[in-house]
Amino acid sequence: MSAKQTMNKIEVKNVFKIFGARAEDALKLIRQQKAKDQVLAETGCVVGVNDLSLSIGSGEIFVIMGLSGSGKSTLVRHFNRLIDPTSGQILVDGEDILQYDMKPCANSAGTRSAWCSRASACCRTAPCWTTSPTA
Ligand SMILES: Nc1ncnc2c1ncn2[C@@H]1O[C@H](COP(=O)(O)OP(=O)(O)O)[C@@H](O)[C@H]1O
Ligand SMILES: [Mg+2]
């Protein structure tokens, strides 16, 4: 692993988040460069995040800016597994967090809090402090 890689705290790799029942169909369309409103019209799905990649260094102050509805909150909700991507990878300290078993967290506020606290240490933004499983 290179020196640059070891400094990354959070890595987001080609993340797509599609909301709706036909997410796979919508993903195909968005990969074909169809616009968000076209995808909505054809599949009834909303594109929340479209092929996002970024790296955040340990201790770095990283600002996520964008228009309302551009996917800022959706992105941050991935960091503590409130939601998972339709496609793509998210690494924290080089570990693929999507491989973690989150089932115990659905039944245990304590376990969920522990994970959220760890994620929040990486990313101190409002959605990380959410405790509702449905947020
Ligand atoms: N749970 C959801 N179900 C359906 N669409 C959603 C959901 N959450 C967010 N969206 C949609 O995803 C897009 C990004 O939303 P959001 O991340 O809230 O944007 P931002 O935080 O940048 O204002 C918007 O089009 C929004 O309507
Ligand atoms: Mg928001």
Neighbours of ion ligand 2 (CB under 5 A): 72-73
Task: Give the helix, strand, coil percentages of the chain, each rounded to 5.
Answer: 40, 25, 35
pLDDT score, position 131: 36
116: tokens are: 């959220």
Ligand 1, closest atom to CA 36?
25
| pLDDT 10s digits, 46-63 | 999 999 999 999 999 999
**pTM, two decimal places:** 0.81
Q: Using 50, 70 and 90 to split pLDDT, how confident is the model at 34?
A: very high
Is any ligand 1 atom within 6 A of the Cβ of residue 70?
yes
Q: Which ligand is nearest to the CA of 75?
A: 1
**Residue 113: what residue type?**
S
| pLDDT 10s digits, 113-126 | 555 555 555 444 43
**What percent of the chain has pLDDT above 90?**
67
Q: Using 50, 70 and 90 to split pLDDT, how confident is the model at 7?
A: confident
Identify the architecture of domain 3-96 in CATH.
Answer: 3-Layer(aba) Sandwich (3.40)
Q: Within 10 Å of residue 27's Cβ, how many Cβ atoms?
A: 20
Query: Which residue's CA is minimally distant from atom 24 of ligand 1?
Result: 69
Q: What is the dihedral of CA 81, 84, 85, 89, to 10 degrees?
A: 50
Ligand 1, closest atom to CA 71?
17
pLDDT score, position 10: 96
29 C-alpha to ligand 2 centroid (Å): 25
